[in-house]
Each structure stands twice: as C-alpha cells, then as structure tokens.
Structure 1
Amino acid sequence: MAGNAILSAFVASLCLSSGASAWPFAKRQTLSYADIQKQALANANKVLDGTLSDGMTRTTCNKNNVAVRKEYGDMTKDERLEYIRAVKCIRSKPSKLPAGKYPGAKTRYDDFVVVHMNMTPSVHSTANFMHWHRYYIWAYETALQTECEYKGTQPYWNWGKYSDLTVSPIFNGDEWSMGGNGDYVKHSGGMMGIPAGPGGGCVTKGPFGNLTVSLGPLMSTMDTSLKIPSNPSRDGYGNNPRCLRRDVNNYYMTRSLTMSNLANHITSNKAIGVFQSSLQNDSPTMPAIHSSGHFSIWGDPGGDVYVSPGEPTFWLHHGQLDRHWWMWQNYVEAEVKTRTSQYEGGTNWMNPNSAPGKATDAQWLDVVAPAGKNGIPSNQIFSTTAGPFCYIYQ
C-alpha cells in the first residue's frame, strides 16, 4: 500500500481517530488506580490458589512459581542494571531471520522489530490488539531469559506515576536508566497536534546513548525538518543506520495519563470491545492512552507505529498496557471469569469490514516465538497465568 494510504488508515483507525469510540464517562468512579491494582492482585491470587475461577485451565502455574513483573522505578538499582545488561545482550546477538530478506535486521533484537512490522495491520485496532501484544512482550521477556541469562521479569512503566517523565528513573540518563532524552534540537511538533518537547535529537546519555537503529522509518511522525534519513526500501526493511532519537515530554502526563483518568478508563468500560477501542482512539476531548504513551517518548523509531519496538522503552510501555488490561480483567471478583474470556473486533485495521476475530485464531510470532510456542490460539493468551504464561503484576 502506498505511504499516503497507510498514513490515512493509521490516522483513521489505530489511535488517532476522533469519534470512532468516545470515552464513556457515564458515572464517576470511586476506586483509585492503586485500589484497582490491589483488587486485581488479590483476585489473581485467588485464581492461583483455586478459590476463584477465571474459566481457564492451568497445569503448572501456581502461587509458588508465578513470576512478578515490577514497575521500572520500583526495581532495585541492581535489578535495573541486570535488565539493561540483558537488553544490550539481545541487541548484540545475530539475527535469526533469513539472510538477505530483511537487510536492516542485523541483530536478534531487530528480529522483534521485523515481526512487529509484518504483523502491524492485523494486531492494531483488531480483536488481536491486547492479546497479540501480551504474547509478543512475553516472547521478548523469554528471549532475554533464555538467550541472555536474564533472571528477572519484564518491567513496566506505570504511566501516571511520574509528573516529570524527563527526570524519572526511566529517562533521567543515569547508569540505571533506559537512557536520557534526545539532545535538544529546535523542531516543530508532529502529526495530529503532537507538541514539540525538550528533545528531538539523538540520545547521547545513559546506557542506550549513541545507539544505532537500522530498520525504518516507515511512518515517521516527526518534524520533517529534522531530516531523518529515509529508508532505502519502501517497505522499511532496508538497512538505514541512524541514531536513536527521543523527544520525551510531559504533554500527556497531565491529560490522558493521569492516575484518575486511567482509573476512569478501567471502571467505565465493561466490554473488551469498548475497552480496547477507547484505549486506542482519541475522543473529542481526550487523547488515547495507547498513543499517549508512545508519543510521550516519541522520536525515531518510537513514534512510528510499524518500527516502534526499535525504541528500547517500547517494552516498558506495552508492559504497562498489558498490566492495564490485566487490572481490568481481574479487579471485579464477580466478573473475572467473564472478562478474562472476552474477545471482540475485526482482523485487519485497514479494513473496517474485515472478518471478526475468533478465540481459536492462531497468533504468530515467527522467529521470535519461544520454542514450540508459535501459532498458539488466542484463547491461550486470555490469562497471564494460563496457557504458556505464568506471571502477575506487582
């Protein structure tokens, strides 16, 4: 599909459409985001000890072996250093993709970017959105553990925790961070009103300073005056070495990513279809949560829907997206079973009339799937403690 057509579809369908699914604020919620987390964790533990059913069959996952994912800022400095080491490790290993098929895929990390590029049309604004990304994040976590001897779990970024994201433990640029903001470069904002932040240039500070990315861009949302090199191939798979750019900003911190708004989003949506669409689509008065997280980091490749996993903090953002869904699934004890198995939507976000997704549809990860775990059906991804998964959130 031509670039303009893809861009139009992206704007209309993925996360920037206005009015496709307005946020339902029919009633005020009284639970805080922290309260929802506590209730979700309590109910998840009941599921694990057998006193509450989520309708799923589990064979090996239990309270004694369940892994616990933590917020990045709540990890100890040693835990953060170990995670950073593992990410650097996976970036140093060679690609497992067919030689020459994707010239920009140089490393094992790049394999994950290519898979996301290939899957983008079927895993955004579809029934697969939350489910496939849960599967994808778990595969990345598993690769860190099995290929780089990482002993921890995939951390997440709690969106509403930091009033100033630029000085948070994630982006402050110290040795325990995921690197600093991009160096300041004068620039304008991006598409659909994304404001210019205090960065815009190459990341030069912290563990991921001076990082080179090679895939994309395919659908950049950055100011064109920055002259980010175009990919030599129209499909974005060509080898295009350039610096990692960020424009970490607080614009969305006081809007869609506040704790009260996140709590409202969970308590105002009882069906997965509305939950997913309101998570991805702007309303007339509120930016979408999903895109707000991406555009709070922005940059290249972080602001490009296809190649955004090339940004090392993509995994923290989508870890939180999975946590947000996990909280929604588990916080109402009487509805845990119903919410866990809900599955709604089409199968291609560029085609609003695409076939509806089925719970038995296979989900694909190609070369990044853990051994024997490619093409598993969606209904094995419903619960974080069933199917191939065994984790909860702290």
Structure 2
Amino acid sequence: MVLPSLLVTLLAGSGSAAAAVARPVTPRTSNGTCTTLLQRRAWHTFTDAEKRAYIDAELCLMAKPATLGLNGTKNRFEELQWTHQHQASIVHNVGAFLPYHRLLMWAHEKLLREECGYQGAQPYWDEVRDAGKFSTSDVLDPVTGFGGNGVGAYGCIADGPFVNFTNSLGPGYRIGFEHCIYRFVSDSVSRRAAQSYIDECYQHTTFVDFWPCAEGAPHNGGHGGIGGKMNDPIASPGDPIFYLHHSFLDKVWWDWQELNQSARLMDIGGRNKFSGGFSGGFPWGNGTLPGFPGGNGSLPGAPQDPWRSVPLQDMIPPPGSPEPEGDPGNTTTLSHILRMYGVVPDVTIADVMDTRGPLLCFEYV
C-alpha cells in the first residue's frame, strides 16, 4: 500500500496519459452468432463461492503483466483502465458515453473469462437495493466483497482482497503516481441511485433525452456514493467496484431499450465532443455533482476528499488526446468508432446497441 506521505509527489512531475500508442482504426464485428446468452446477475444473488471466483479472476487480471505497450500500464487490469483514462474527454458527457462503457464492461468480462479462467458472467451491483445505505452493502464486505470504506486522511482501504493493490494511473490523467485504492463512502450521495431517479429517466422516449439523465443521478449516485478513486472521472476504473457499477448503469440503459426495442436498438444521438473539462469531479460545473451544490468540490454528507484536489493540469486532456472518429459532424451516430487500443478489437456504436449479438452475447437477469 502506498504511504499517505507520498501524496506530496502528486504536485511534482510524473508522466501523463498523453503518450498513446498509434494504432490503425479498424472497426469490426464478430462473425459468430449469439446462441447462448451469458446471464448477468446482481452481486447480492451470488453464492460465496461465485463471489470468490469473480474476485480471484479480478486478482488474476491485476497480476497479469501488461502486453500492449500502453503508457504507464503494469498489468492487464490497468490496460483496461488506460483506455478509459486516455479517452475520458470523449466518452463522458457525450452520446458515446453509454455505448463506450457497455463495450468496456464486455471487454472486462471477456478478459476475466479468457485469460483468468472465470466461468461466470459480469455481475452488476443492484444499487437501487442499497441506495442511501452503501456503507452496509455486501459489495463492501471485507470477506466476500470488495473491501470496505477508506480509512485515515487519504482514504486507503484497509481490508478486503484488494487492500495491497497499487494503481499507477490517476488521479486524473496522471501516470506513474503509485497509490492505493481509496474510498470516501457517502450514504447521502448514494441516494441518487434510488429507483425514483431511474424512473425519471425512463420517462424519456429518445436517447438524446435519456442519456444525460442516466449519466446524471443514476451514474453519479454510484461514483459519488463510493467516493475516492470512484469519484475520479478519468481514472475511476482503478477501483474494481467500477465494473459492477457501470454494469448496473448498462442494465438501466438496456431496460430502457427493452421498453421499445423496435425503435431503441437503433436510437443514438447527442454531441460527440464535450467542450467543458474536469475540475476535481465529474464533468458538471465546478466539480460538484448535480443536486449537491458544494462550492469547492465537496459533497454534503461526505468527508472532504483530498484526492479530488489534484492540480488542474492533471484534469485537462493532455496534448495528443484522441478526438471522436466515425461521425460526419458533432452528432454521435451509429458509425461512431469505439476504440479499445488492442484490449479488444475496435467496433462501432452499431455493434454494441444490442446485447444479444452478434458481437455481444449477454442479458441481465
């Protein structure tokens, strides 16, 4: 675990995420046919043995050496995280937000199964069940879950299977600052994951209206409810809870699609480039989350998170950051390219609109 005193080095020089490996864009889909759907289930329905199998596979991914030459990555887990960090400015607050994260969840599931022997499907966190009481969720159980809240001034987790994991990506776009998984759990912020907020999103009949709603309360309820690393909009996949949270959000999108499949399996839109920036939190104004005005990035009901107070330059996309590809203008289309830098093949948004194939092959139960 990283000593808290090392935080001072955050203000000093280190690498950034700017140095990407140039790779040709070759979007493609699977030639196979989806015949057997993986069943994605809620974490709380898993047996202890199923939970252990998933966590062991995650630890395996964290232990496997990086293979793709992505700047600063040490292991396969960080290579997934890097694709999110490097593209943060073009996969948040844009029409590609939900499609990109659906692909990232699938890539994570694929690596667990193909490289670490995991036999199951990607679980999701039923955050509605735990809204307003994240601190008591079985997701944070120190024995059968992901470990609990952070402790001390810097919020390093003190128990659970990932207590000794050292992450080298983040905060923000920073690379090379090795640090613990840190959390500042807030039950009050986690209320944004409640069913009432999701139901508000389901009232929208077009993607361009649904997507910002989903990226609002349901999205920030999970990130802000865990806090710490999860509150870093750029490097948040450094906490493995990220994959349960975004699988839940993907389920919210899929449930909305199922309300009108004939229209919504082809419905996409929204801007493809966000002109704002990140300022110590998710990309809404001054670093606060919607509905929680807090001035300097603090959240009422949550302890002040010193890890959010990173230098501004580490929250700004560095030179060489990617631009959206595949659209004729600034409107997200089905031909928008989702890049994965070799982790899995690049595809288009059209390829991930239906979870039941031909590329993806799963359903939520």
TM bracket (short chain): 0.7 to 0.9
**Does the aligned pair in 2 maintain the 1:212–1:244 contact within 8 Å?**
yes
Q: Could you tell me which of 42, 54, 60 is aligned with 2:33?
A: 60
**Does the aligned pair in 2 maintain the 1:202–1:245 contact within 8 Å?**
yes
Count of aligned residue pairs for this structure pair: 285
- Partner of 1:231 in structure 2? none
Q: State how far apart, in whole Å, the 1-side matches of 2:33 and 2:56 are.
A: 29
- Partner of 1:291 in structure 2? 220
Q: Is residue 344 from structure 1 mapped to residue 269 from structure 2 by the alignment?
A: yes
Q: Share of identical aligned residues, percent?
A: 28
Query: 1:58 deviation in Å?
Result: 9.9
Query: 1:107 deviation in Å?
Result: 0.9
From the superposition, tell whether residues 129 and 107 of structure 1 become closer, same or farther in structure 2 (CA, over 3 Å).
same
Bigger Rg over Cα = 1
Q: Which runs of 5+ in 1 are unaligned?
A: 1-56, 186-199, 219-234, 282-287
- Partner of 2:66 in structure 1? 95
Query: 1:362 deviation in Å?
Result: 2.0
**Does the aligned pair in 2 maintain the 1:116–1:306 contact within 8 Å?**
yes
- Partner of 2:309 in structure 1? none
CA displacement, residues 241-298 of structure 1 (integer Å, 9 cap, x when unaligned): 12211111211333x22123322321x11111111112224xxxxxx22122101111
What amino acid is the match of 1:236?
A: R
Q: Is residue 242 from structure 1 mapped to residue 215 from structure 2 by the alignment?
A: no
Query: 1:184 deviation in Å?
Result: 4.6
Q: Give the alignment of 1:1-394 within 5 angstroms.
A: 60-62=33-35, 65-98=36-69, 102-103=71-72, 105-162=73-130, 163-173=132-142, 175-185=143-153, 201-218=155-172, 235-237=173-175, 239-254=176-191, 256-266=192-202, 268-281=203-216, 288-299=217-228, 301-330=229-258, 332=259, 335-350=260-275, 355-369=330-344, 374-394=345-365
CA displacement, residues 88-126 of structure 1 (integer Å, 9 cap, x when unaligned): 00000011232xx623x1111111111111111111121
From the superposition, tell whether residues 59 and 217 of structure 1 become closer, same or farther in structure 2 (CA, over 3 Å).
closer
Q: State how far apart, in whole Å, the 1-side matches of 2:147 and 2:276 are.
A: 38
- Normalised to the residue count of structure 2, the TM-score between the two structures is 0.74
Could you tell which deviates more after superposition, 354-363 or 83-92? 354-363
Q: State how far apart, in whole Å, the 2-side matches of 1:74 and 1:132 are.
A: 27
The two structures, once aligned, show a CA RMSD in angstroms of 2.1
Q: State how far apart, in whole Å, the 2-side matches of 1:85 and 1:262 are.
A: 32
Runs of 4+ in 1 over 4 A off after TM superposition: 351-354
Could you tell which deviates more after superposition, 87-96 or 355-364? 355-364
Q: Which runs of 5+ in 2 are unaligned?
A: 1-29, 278-323
What amino acid is the match of 1:291?
A: N
Q: State how far apart, in whole Å, the 1-side matches of 2:256 and 2:240 are.
A: 26
Q: State how far apart, in whole Å, the 2-side matches of 1:58 and 1:326 are.
A: 23
Query: 1:377 deviation in Å?
Result: 1.7
- Normalised to the residue count of structure 1, the TM-score between the two structures is 0.69
Could you tell which deviates more after superposition, 71-80 or 118-127? 118-127
